[in-house]
A and B are shown apart, each in its own frame.
Chain A
Amino acid sequence: MPLGPDTTSKWERRLPCVYWAIGVRSFRRFSTYRIATASGAFTNTVFGFILCGIYLTLWHERPGLGGYDVADALTFVWLQQGLLMPIGIFGATTTVELGERVRSGEIAVDLYRPTHLLLWWLSVDLGRAMFQLAVRGGAPLLVGSLVFDLKFPSNPITWLAVAVGLVLGILVSFTIRYLVALSGFWITDTRGMEQLALVLSCFFSGTILPLVVFPGWIGEFARATPWAATLQVPVDIWLGRSPDGIGSALLFQLGWLLVLLLAGQLTTSVATRKVVIQGG
């Protein structure tokens, strides 16, 4: 059906609503996996206790390691366990699906829509992230704070900065996962790339060990990567341990986000020009 000039402009004006609607539906979709969500939160909590045992020993042997005190280290553990899924440190269902759609050719349907590919999937991913943040983000922290003496931000400015830092972290993580998924336009099987991305993400985000503990040049390199912007930086804002203050921490995240968004936009336009859909 040909769209008249009038209808097109009407569409464009309504686009923000469309993305909002996609996000809301994605949120609802993830809210149907109840048992999976509960067992995931349980596993996060078990890992939280194991890591606390490890970090208590580590910080007992070296008090003040990496500028963290014991309360910082324990709070790091429970924040991290709550944020792994929302941020998508191990990858997320949504972007894995995107990769599969590129592989199978179903991506053609997405390209046919009068929406922007990157923004469409960004909305889907944000819906997922917000659900997992709301339901899974706080559960381990709650359990942890019942057992251990944890740190919480004391003033509204810090809370606001934490919220902004978290959203930026999720966005940075999304753009990386989006680029990995789109790599399927060039290499047909993205599973190898996804595995490689998983290694980099776990190592440089502070998931296997807080980045403040990384010694020497490895530490400096790790703290400058975009993965640091996904987990370590928001957690440091929460703890009030951002090395150069909250402002530069947020700027660091924003800088990486802009670079990655630009790369994402560029990749999208190159990929869509390259794509050949098999008729049938």
Chain B
Amino acid sequence: MVERLRRAPAQYWMLVLMWIRSSLAYPASFVLMLASSMLITVMDFVAIVLMFSHIESFGGFTLGEMALLYATASMTLGVADLFTGAIERVGERIRTGTLDVYLIRPVPTFLQTAADGFALRRIGRPLQAGVVLAFALSNLQLEWTPAKVVMLVLSVITGSIIFAAIFVLGAAFQFLAIDSAELANSFTYGGQTLTQYPLSVFGKEIVRAVTFVIPLAFVNYYPVLYVLGKPAPLGLPSWIGLLSPLVAGAMVALASLAWRGGLRRYRSTGS
């Protein structure tokens, strides 16, 4: 087990490198796809900017503060999508039975499906999120403390892990219901859209749901509230964002159980 985990990063990197080399075979096409990938993902932020041509604040957030929320939501989903997003293609492999190939290779099936067709152009989303983050940080006159820096950096890492776990959960569900790939979009891309906005505008029930049921609020909302010095909703303590590593750990454990369970259920097509 320990040995397998130790070898995993190198194995994953090897698979990823193979796909990168293949995508760079057509450099012009790659640059075009990267540019349009950045364009597509930046549109959500353009929508927010267009909204702010009519309003001063959105649910108590200024444009700069919204930019910070947007950047962290887009960054975390982008990183998760880059590293594990391809796993949603497992449904296609289950239907056609080509998952068999992955089961007999001496590399964990999870790593192979996560790296399946690794698309470097997906780095477009984190890249544009980085640009918006720079805009947000230069726009906001924040009083930085070490605790705030730790909170922000930590939230980007743990937020990515939470989204990655959701991608894996969605993929695991496809062992039960083939063709349900779009269902996971509700929680991944839907989760990103939700977390781009101050969650309090969606009402107390939603805040409760994304705190205790699907812990999307820990991706960026609670950490950003702490960085901006805003109080947490529902009477929760302001440091609640610091719990995000624990939440991420729980999500990973859950996703890992679901993936194993799904893989055990896999019956090939028999062809």
Q: Footprint of B on A, CB under 8 Å?
A: 33-36, 38-40, 42-43, 46-47, 50-51, 53-54, 56-58, 61-62, 65, 189, 191-192, 195-196, 198-199, 202-203, 208-209, 213-215, 218
For A33, what are the chain B residues with a Cβ–Cβ distance below 8 Å?
Answer: 179
For B55, what are the chain A residues with a Cβ–Cβ distance below 8 Å?
Answer: 58, 61-62
**In the complex, what residue of chain A is closest to B61 when comparing beta carbons?**
A57
For the complex, what is the distance from the CA of A39 to the CA of B184, rounded to whole Å?
Answer: 9
For B37, what are the chain A residues with a Cβ–Cβ distance below 8 Å?
Answer: 195
- Contact in complex: A199, B50 (CB < 8 Å): no
For B186, what are the chain A residues with a Cβ–Cβ distance below 8 Å?
Answer: 42-43, 46-47
For the complex, what is the distance from the CA of A196 to the CA of B193, rounded to whole Å?
Answer: 21
- Contact in complex: A209, B190 (CB < 8 Å): no
For B32, what are the chain A residues with a Cβ–Cβ distance below 8 Å?
Answer: 192, 195
Contacts A39-B183, A47-B193, A53-B197 given; indicate if A58 touches B51 (C-beta within 8 A): yes
For the complex, what is the distance from the CA of A203 to the CA of B180, rounded to whole Å?
Answer: 27
- Contact in complex: B36, A39 (CB < 8 Å): no
**In the complex, what residue of chain A is closest to B30 when comparing beta carbons?**
A192
How distant is A128 from chain B, measured CB to nearest CB, in Å? Answer: 16
- Contact in complex: A43, B47 (CB < 8 Å): no
For A65, what are the chain B residues with a Cβ–Cβ distance below 8 Å?
Answer: 54
Q: List 23 A-B contacts (CB under 8 A).
A: A35-B179, A36-B179, A36-B182, A39-B177, A39-B183, A42-B183, A43-B186, A46-B186, A47-B186, A50-B190, A51-B193, A53-B201, A53-B203, A192-B33, A195-B36, A195-B40, A198-B36, A198-B40, A199-B39, A199-B40, A202-B43, A208-B44, A215-B53
B211, CB-defined interface residue at 8 Å: no
Option from B40, B50, B180, B194 in Cβ contact (under 8 Å) with A50? B194
For A191, what are the chain B residues with a Cβ–Cβ distance below 8 Å?
Answer: 29, 33
B26, CB-defined interface residue at 8 Å: yes
**In the complex, what residue of chain B is closest to A208 when comparing beta carbons?**
B47
Option from B26, B46, B54 in Cβ contact (under 8 Å) with A189? B26
For A199, what are the chain B residues with a Cβ–Cβ distance below 8 Å?
Answer: 36, 39-40, 43
Contacts A46-B186, A203-B43 given; indicate if A213 touches B178 (C-beta within 8 A): no
- With A39-B183, A65-B54, A209-B50 already in contact, 14 other A-B pairs whose C-beta atoms are closer than 8 Å: A36-B181, A43-B186, A47-B190, A58-B51, A58-B58, A195-B36, A196-B36, A196-B39, A199-B40, A213-B51, A214-B50, A215-B50, A215-B53, A215-B54
- Contact in complex: A39, B179 (CB < 8 Å): yes
How distant is A184 from chain B, measured CB to nearest CB, in Å? Answer: 13
For the complex, what is the distance from the CA of A192 to the CA of B56, rounded to whole Å?
Answer: 37
For A214, what are the chain B residues with a Cβ–Cβ distance below 8 Å?
Answer: 50
Give 4 closest A-B pairs by Cβ, nearest first. Answer: A39-B183, A195-B36, A53-B202, A46-B186
B57, CB-defined interface residue at 8 Å: yes
How distant is B90 from chain A, measured CB to nearest CB, in Å? Answer: 15
- Contact in complex: A208, B183 (CB < 8 Å): no
For the complex, what is the distance from the CA of A136 to the CA of B55, rounded to whole Å?
Answer: 34
For the complex, what is the distance from the CA of A61 to the CA of B47, rounded to whole Å?
Answer: 16
Option from A36, A43, A61, A202 in Cβ contact (under 8 Å) with B58? A61
B238, CB-defined interface residue at 8 Å: no
Contacts A47-B186, A208-B44 given; indicate if A35 touches B201 (C-beta within 8 A): no
For the complex, what is the distance from the CA of A130 to the CA of B151, rounded to whole Å?
Answer: 50
B59, CB-defined interface residue at 8 Å: yes
For B53, what are the chain A residues with a Cβ–Cβ distance below 8 Å?
Answer: 215
How distant is A223 from chain B, measured CB to nearest CB, in Å? Answer: 14
For A35, what are the chain B residues with a Cβ–Cβ distance below 8 Å?
Answer: 177-180
B185, CB-defined interface residue at 8 Å: yes
Contacts A57-B58, A58-B55 given; indicate if A43 touches B190 (C-beta within 8 A): yes
Option from A38, A50, A202, A203 in Cβ contact (under 8 Å) with B193? A50
B20, CB-defined interface residue at 8 Å: no
